[in-house]
Structure 1
Amino acid sequence: MTTETTNDAGQAAPNHNDITASPSASSGKESLQAPEVAAYWAERRRYIERIRKVPEVRQRYWREAGVYLLRRILWSFGFFPIFLAFWVPFVLSSFNPVVMASDLIPMLQSFVDSNPEVQATTISTLAIAWASVGFFFLVFDFVLTPFRSPYEYEADVYMRSWEQLNHDRLPNKV
């Protein structure tokens, strides 16, 4: 027998026993899943705190962070601006290298024949264009390919084994 209490609006509030016994509570899976998830994340946090003190993992972290930044910078400032500098004229020449060369040769000839001020302005304009394209791609490259920390990788591996070892002691899995 369950007892019902009324709230301020005069509606009957169900007893706590009724909530866990109701079919909408999925036979207690919701109430058992929260402690399981909390234990998982607590163990993961503890493990990451422990491995942050290991010098080899810390050294690998800084090495991988440096390689990640170098790759992103080289990709964004090396490949994309150079690719666009050759791709756009190639498309405008209808994918015909002879037409592209015949269009670019007079522009290069006029650059060489111009005075040093015009040459400096042209070079600075190209440098600004190169840097703006590089920064544009760098921002999107950081967003699209985030850094994967070795700490996170080690924690993933550890947590897979932790789940297997603690499977018997944890509540029913979903």
Structure 2
Amino acid sequence: MSTSSGLANANQAPEVAAYWAERRRYLERIRKSPEVRQRFWREVAIYFARRLLWSFGFFPIFMAFWVPLVLSSFNPVVMASDLIPLLQDFVSANPEVQATTLSTVAMAWVSVGFFFLIFDFVLTPFRSPYEYEADVYMRAWEQLNHEQLPDKV
């Protein structure tokens, strides 16, 4: 590490500490606000609802239609002609076989849904409204304090 970069880091350290101290103070202040708290819980509910609907609604249904379509070389007539005998066998089977088939389909649905749910949580983490408010406030705080700081040589 060169001495010039070490001096630059030493000069920026108080500014960085002041930034994070101000951010912490602002977050403590807005956590007491009922409007932001209500928006936080609403955003949490919307986030979880979206993740659940996306993971258990879209992906299993998409895969249930996409995989047979790919296996039939994107020919829906071939796909239907392959699936109709399977559906007829299901309908004519005894109740125990039907129950086993339905439980297998349900387990496949849930396993695909949980796989994509975990994958979705990793790819799209929750963004708190508190953090958003703090980011907006700190941008304004940086602009105000940047104008007040003396120019550095």
Q: TM-score range by the shorter chain?
A: over 0.9
Matched with 2:39 is 60
Q: What residue ranges of structure 1 are gaps of 5+ in the alignment?
A: 1-22
Matched with 1:168 is 147
Q: Structure 1's 80 and 172: CA in aligned 2 closer, same or farther, altered over 3 A?
A: farther
- Partner of 2:74, secondary structure, is coil
Equivalent positions of 1:86-105 (< 5 A) are 86-105=65-84
Q: Structure 1's 28 and 170: CA in aligned 2 closer, same or farther, altered over 3 A?
A: farther
Q: What residue ranges of structure 2 are gaps of 5+ in the alignment?
A: none
Matched with 2:59 is 80
- Segments ≥4 residues shifted beyond 2 Å: 23-28, 168-173
Q: Structure 1's 171 and 68: CA in aligned 2 closer, same or farther, altered over 3 A?
A: farther
1:39-65 Cα deviation digits (max 9, x unpaired): 101110110110000000000000011
Q: RCO (CA 8 Å, sep 6+): is it higher in 1 or 2?
A: 2
Output the TM-score relative to the length of structure 2.
0.94
**Length, aligned pairs only:** 151
160-169 vs 108-117, which moves further: 160-169
1:106-159 Cα deviation digits (max 9, x unpaired): 000000000000000000000000000000000010000000000000000000
Matched with 1:9 is none
**C-alpha separation between the residues in 2 aligned to 1:170 and 1:132?**
56
Higher helix share goes to which structure?
A: 2
Q: Quote the RMSD (CA, aligned, Å).
A: 1.5
Equivalent positions of 1:25-174 (< 5 A) are 25-26=4-5, 28-170=7-149
8 Å CA contact retained: 1:32, 1:171: no
Equivalent AA in structure 2 for residue 46 of structure 1? R
Q: C-alpha displacement at 1:35, in angstroms?
A: 1.0
Q: C-alpha displacement at 1:29, in angstroms?
A: 1.4
Rg: which structure is higher? 1
Q: Structure 1's 105 and 52: CA in aligned 2 closer, same or farther, altered over 3 A?
A: same
Output the TM-score relative to the length of structure 1.
0.83
